[in-house]
Amino acid sequence: MTDLSGQVALVTGASRGIGAATAQALAAAGAHVILTGRDTKALEAVEEAIFAAGGSATIAPVDLAEADGIARLAQAIGGRWPTLDILVHAAAVLPQLTGVTDVDAKSLANALTINASATQALIARFDPLLRKAKNPRLIYLTTSVATSPRAWWGAYAASKAAAEVLVDCYAQEVRNITPIRVAIVDPGATRTAMRAKAYPGEDPKRNKEPAAVADRIIALLGEQFASPHRERVNQPS
């Protein structure tokens, strides 16, 4: 098992789904996990589950759409911990699936803000703390439509593609001058609320649990992968 004892990890979108499962897996591996998301009660439930399992966590509610939310989060974390070892960016919003000609401007702007602009802001604000760590890693959760767009997914695909390009460029910019390593992970079909929203008629039992993705992320954190690293988490056999 990957031993993350003594390391500090920040997980966005930690209130449910893959984010919550990853936060619990990080804590089980020994990391102190900072849980962030919009739903305070849901974050508290994840925190309680971590405590019950003998782990360590802190909740830090924040809305990634707020103009200064990420700046305040970085300031609070930087004031308490000298470094950040792991950043797992799992938070995202799924706008309505519709044709490009029918995309709602406000919905598209919100998706670009949360999925793309917030990604850049997280990188910018936490880069200083990551650089201070001995073995810093950034894990970004993407989607297949970011690189293989398809009909009706234009708004979501565009926002995630923009974010993915930012993450990839950042990885290339820092790989030769810092110890920061970046992985872009496509979780694949997973049993989450977002997946249910996108595929309402699908049998959720056909898809893997969020814990399967979390387990792969923990294993990846124990590997010396080249940066930027890309992979898709397949259905367990």
Only one residue has tokens 């294993």, namely 219
pTM of the prediction? 0.97
Q: What pLDDT is recorded for position 117?
A: 98
Could you read off the pLDDT tens digit of each residue along the chain, which spans 237 residues? 899 999 999 999 999 999 999 999 999 999 999 999 999 999 999 999 999 999 999 999 999 999 899 999 999 999 999 999 999 999 999 999 999 999 999 999 999 999 999 999 999 999 999 999 999 999 999 999 999 999 999 999 999 999 999 999 999 999 999 999 999 999 999 999 999 999 999 999 999 999 999 999 999 999 999 999 999 999 876
Active site residues: 156
Beta strands 229-232 and 32-36 are unpaired
Residue 69 buriedness (CB in 10 A; 0-12 / 13-18 / 19+): middle
Q: Which domains does the chain possess?
A: 8-113+136-232 (3.40.50.720)
